[in-house]
Structure 1
């Protein structure tokens, strides 16, 4: 009985991994992956300008140093995402959950962040010229100047 349960679990876990590979392939080939699960995907140093990743599960995704100008992340879950050094100029991050995300030295110029959650996020050294922000949750958030913002705790 235990052996057959292990076989079934192994088959389901392989199946889930295959879906993630399909999502990754779709993103890289079509530059869109709406409603995808790309948890922990290694997408550092990629050119994903204008990509649609809205309503996706992107926990612990690695987008370090990636080109993400004009990308859509609306309603995405990006807990613990690594966006260090990424270029997010003009990106849409409305209703995005960026809890404990690494946003060090990101370029967020002219990005839009309406009702996003930045609890525990690190924005040290980030550029935010012209960034549209409204209804943001700041709690233990390290701001670009290195100061901690707890205004929404």
Structure 2
């Protein structure tokens, strides 16, 4: 899916969901630049989005839907992925050092409880 199509899909999701806690400007920045350091994308619908080589250092991705997302070679060091769903996501060569993985569903379906307080 191209970035323009992803932006349109995510914009529609944004408009349809009043319960979203993420910052729409952060989502726009991620789609346009593939970078969103320290941004708030909690509860964002990122289903199947291509985030290959994205820079998401210390981003808040808590409870985000990242199913089937391409996170290949992405830098998500120190990010909060608590409660996120990564089922089927590609994390090949992704940098996840220091990431919070509390109640996070990993690509193969297992649930991780790393960084829970």
Q: Same fold (TM over 0.5)?
A: yes
For residue 73 of structure 2, the aligned residue among 99, 110, 115 is 110
Q: Report the equivalent of 1:97.
A: 60
Aligned counterparts of 1:88 and 1:75: Cα–Cα separation in 2: 16
What is the CA deviation profile of residues 87-125 of structure 1, one whole-angstrom value per residue up to 9, with x for unaligned ones? 000000001000100000000001101110001000000
TM-score normalised by length of structure 1: 0.57
Runs (4 or more) in structure 1 with deviation over 3 Å come to: 67-70
**Paired positions, count:** 98
Decide whether aligned partners of structure 1 residues 88 and 68 sit closer, same or farther in structure 2, where only a CA change above 3 A counts: farther
Q: Report the equivalent of 1:132.
A: 95
Decide whether aligned partners of structure 1 residues 69 and 126 sit closer, same or farther in structure 2, where only a CA change above 3 A counts: farther
Higher RCO (CA < 8 A, seq sep 6+): 2
Which structure 1 segments of 5+ residues have no match?
1-27, 29-41, 47-57
C-alpha root-mean-square deviation of aligned residues, in Å?
Answer: 2.6
Q: Report the equivalent of 2:37.
A: 74
What is the CA deviation profile of residues 109-145 of structure 1, one whole-angstrom value per residue up to 9, with x for unaligned ones? 0110111000100000000111011100011100001
Structure of higher CA gyration radius:
1
TM-score normalised by length of structure 2: 0.74
Which structure 2 segments of 5+ residues have no match?
12-20
Q: 1:43-82 maps to which residues of 2 (within 5 A)?
A: 43-44=8-9, 59=22, 68=31, 71-82=34-45
Q: Report the equivalent of 2:105.
A: 142
